[in-house]
Amino acid sequence: MGVIFSKQGLNDASSEYIQPVTKDGGKERVIISVGGGKGGVGKTLIAANLGIMLAREGRRVILIDLDLGGANLHTCLGVDLPKSTLSDFMQKDVTNLSDILIETPINNLRLISGAQDILDIANIKYMQKVRFINKLKELDADYIILDLGAGTSFNTLDFFLASDIGIVTIVPEPTSIENVYRFIKSAFYRKLKNAESSLKIKKMVDDIMKNRIANGISTPSDLLKKIEETEQDIGEAVRKEMASFSPKLIINMVRSQTDVEIGHAVSSVCRKYFGIETELLGYIEYDNLVWQSIRKKNPVILEFPNSKLISDFNRVYKRIINPNIRFIDGALER
């Protein structure tokens, strides 16, 4: 994706983390997306706070609200209902995404809103999507954060797959867990689908999937096994696709140690059941401060900077920008 990372101040022992650097002339950026399938699990909260944290450290950040139809990222940031939105871009009267950028009260942080969009994410045409993703890569920023909204439409999955770091939000409830598995599974099949022409596996996958019941395929790893039985080389290629697919998990609204462990458990199940490696970035506690800050239309991190919630966010944030810092839990740690 053309992103170059360098250790900030390589020779400076005090500096610990990685940041994107701009290669001479070229604009390099990291795209992070926040999804998770289910509605109301905290995707917007996470995207907004992540954006603010990066911006406060001097990174130039653009937050994009792709929750068309349910856009509320602007409210989380204390921005009034924006005049220009993604609709203006998708419907072509606006050429560049930079034309619909909105300043926020936070330095270095800008927003592209999907508010009041007549468009539904599922109805964005293929060409519109391609154009959007291409233009995304022209934006002048260090980090671009996509708030994906709920659901597993192809468009949502494609935005997830187009990002460098894909975050999946879970809350410790059966419904959320079900949706997370569906999201991860759909994203993986979508990734495979997108790679089909280069992998030359279309016909094989189609044939196998057509008889998926008879073939006993219910997971990506079953599919892999079947492909490997049929043709070893292609199996190897699919295995590589699988290895390069590694969603990050955040478990939100936790109220107990047991809830935190659900995060680890989901990660274990993804590995065993799907054959997909995920990484648990950490947990965020349930905290009433969230709604208090939303009522004040002020981001929680600005309203309650010293809260426990914000220290949760801080730890998650650190693990995103520096993969050396991991949420370790004995044997589940790779």
Partner 1 sequence: MLWSVNVSNNKAGINYYEILEVSDNATRKEIVEAYQRAKSVYSKDSMALYSLYSDEDSTNMINLIEEAYQVLINPQRRELYNREHNINSHRSVVNIIFDKPGELGRSFVETPNFGEQENSYEDPKINKAAFKAYVSVSKQESAKKAPEYKSDDTMESKIRSEEEFSGNFFTEVRKYKNMNLGYLSSVTKVAVYHLEALEREDYKTLPARVYVRGFVKSYAQSLGLDRDKAVTAYMKRYDQAFKK
Ligand X SMILES: Nc1ncnc2c1ncn2[C@@H]1O[C@H](COP(=O)(O)OP(=O)(O)OP(=O)(O)O)[C@@H](O)[C@H]1O
Contacts with ligand X by CB under 6 A lie at 39-45, 67, 70, 149-150, 252-253, 284, 286-287, 290-291, 294
Q: Which two tokens stand for residue 313?
A: 């966010």
Nearer to ligand X, 176 or 221 (CB): 176
Query: Using CA atoms, how far apart are residues 131 and 144, in angstroms rounded to an integer?
Result: 16
101 touches 111 (CB < 8 A): yes
41 binds, among Mg ion, ligand X, partner 1, none (CB under 5 to 8 A by kind): ligand X
| Crossing angle between the packed helical segments 174-199 and 257-269, to the nearest 10 degrees | 30
Q: Hey, which bits of 148-229 come out as E strands?
A: 165-170
Residue 78, classified by CB atoms within 10 Å of its CB into exposed (0-12), middle (13-18) or buried (19+), is: middle
To Mg ion, the closest distance from the beta carbon of 74 in angstroms equals: 11
236 touches 225 (CB < 8 A): no
Q: How far is CA 247 from the centre of its chain?
A: 8
- Is residue 44 at the binding interface for Mg ion, with CB under 5 A as the rule? yes
Nearer to ligand X, 247 or 275 (CB): 247
Beta bridge partners of 112: 64
Within 10 angstroms of residue 221's Cβ, the number of other Cβ atoms is: 18
To partner 1, the closest distance from the beta carbon of 213 in angstroms equals: 14
- Is residue 4 at the binding interface for partner 1, with CB under 8 A as the rule? yes
Report the interface residues with partner 1, using CB under 8 A.
Answer: 1, 3-7, 10, 13, 16, 18, 20, 30, 164-165, 172-174, 177-178, 181-182, 198, 216, 218-219, 221-222, 225, 236-237, 240-241, 243-244, 246, 254-257, 260-262, 264-266, 268-269, 271-273, 275, 277, 279, 283, 285, 308, 315, 323-334
Report the interface residues with Mg ion, using CB under 5 A.
Answer: 43-44, 67
